[in-house]
Every structure is written in structure tokens, then in C-alpha cells.
Amino acid sequence: MQTTQYLGEIIKELNRTADFIADEEAEKLVNGILEAKKIFVAGAGRSGFMSKSFAMRMMHMGLDAYVVGETITPNLEQDDILIIGSGSGETRSLVSMAEKAKSLGATVALVTIFPESTIGQLADITVKLPGSPKDQSDNGYKTIQPMGSLFEQTLLLFYDAIILRCMEKKGLDSNTMFKRHANLE
């Protein structure tokens, strides 16, 4: 298969993912974000990169958003939300973050393949995304892509859709957000 044919297959897979995401779950996440004082995002590996891009767009909206683990990240408090992107919902470092956030009284949200996971059981808000875990040997969801690629791509696009819904609810447009874009170049 040619590279462009693979691209076409990936796009087809991504097209199918939207049908498997519950609007009610997504709307709970949107409301949790808009009601929070501060927003914290976390993820490991490629899911972490998707979370960082999500935090950047929230900053462009004027929301107080941070990436857990960065040097300028403030303390998490009771009126805050921690959003974790984790295919498995079992990554030890992320489980510890969720436990700590819960102990501080913050809202915990999880975007995952497995809502019944350890983090899913701790979460106040859970959004299930389709995808295949890194170990595809025991999974019913089929993808041509390796490891967790389909989940990670869907996570990025889902986060972008959450941004659009937040923009709609806040009455923002791209021009307003562009004013908060870095201009030091």
C-alpha cells in the first residue's frame, strides 16, 4: 500500500470514531472546564502531547490552563479540574495524580478507552473514546495503526472539538483567540 493510501485509511478510521463518543459525556467535560477556576491537563507519552496542545488552546481562549509537571504550573485547589488523557486509564503516574486531585477536592476528568479503569473509578467525569490500547492482542476495536495511535489521534481531535464547543458557549471566535497567540517571533 502507498503512503497516501495509508493516510486515506487512517482518515476513514478517524471518521468512524465520532459515532462512538457520547455527547452527554462531552458536554459534562465542557461544563466542567467552563466552571473550573483553573484547568490542569495530564497524559503520558503521545497522549501527553495531545494534552499539551489542548492546554495551549484553552490559554488562547483566556482560560487559566496548565500542564501538570511544567515548572510554572501552580498548585491545584478545590475549584479546579484535572483532565487526564489516558488510553488505558491505568498509567501509575496518572493514577497518583488523580488520587491527589481527589484528595484536594478538585474535579477529576478522564478521557479514555476504558472508563472502568482505576482512574475511571476515581473520575467525576469520564469520556469514552474509541481506539485500541497499545497491546492490541485483547481488544475488539480493529485498527490498521500501531499501538495507541488511533486513540491518540482521536484524543487530539476530540480536544479540538471541546475547544470549539467552549468557544461557542463563551462567544469567542478565532480572531479573539489569535490576540492571545505568542507574538515574540
Q: In this predicted structure, what is the pLDDT of residue 54?
A: 98
Given the residues 13, 77, 99, 152, select the one marked as catalytic. Answer: 152
| Distance, first Cα to last Cα, the chain | 40
* Among 28, 38, 80, CA closest to 58: 38
Residue 179: band (very low, low, confident or very high) from pLDDT cuts 50, 70, 90: confident
Average pLDDT over residues 159-175: 94
SS3 at position 52: helix
Residue 67: band (very low, low, confident or very high) from pLDDT cuts 50, 70, 90: very high
Which residues, including other chains, have CB under 8 Å from residue 37's CB and lie 6 or more apart?
A: 64, 77, 79, 80
Counting every residue written for the chain, the total comes to: 185
Q: In this predicted structure, what is the pLDDT of residue 149?
A: 86
Q: Amino acid identity, residue 175?
A: N
- Say if residues 129 and 17 touch (Cβ distance below 8 Å): yes
Average pLDDT over residues 31-57: 97
Question: Per-residue pLDDT for 185 more than 80?
Answer: no
- Say if residues 136 and 130 touch (Cβ distance below 8 Å): no
Residue located via cell numbers 476515581: 122
99 is catalytic: no
Residue 2 CA to chain centroid, in angstroms? 31
For helices 23-35 and 149-170, give the axis angle rounded to 10 degrees: 60
Structure letter (DSSP) for residue 95? H
Residue 108's DSSP bridge partners are: 82
109-140 pLDDT, tens per residue? 999 999 999 999 999 999 999 877 665 555 56
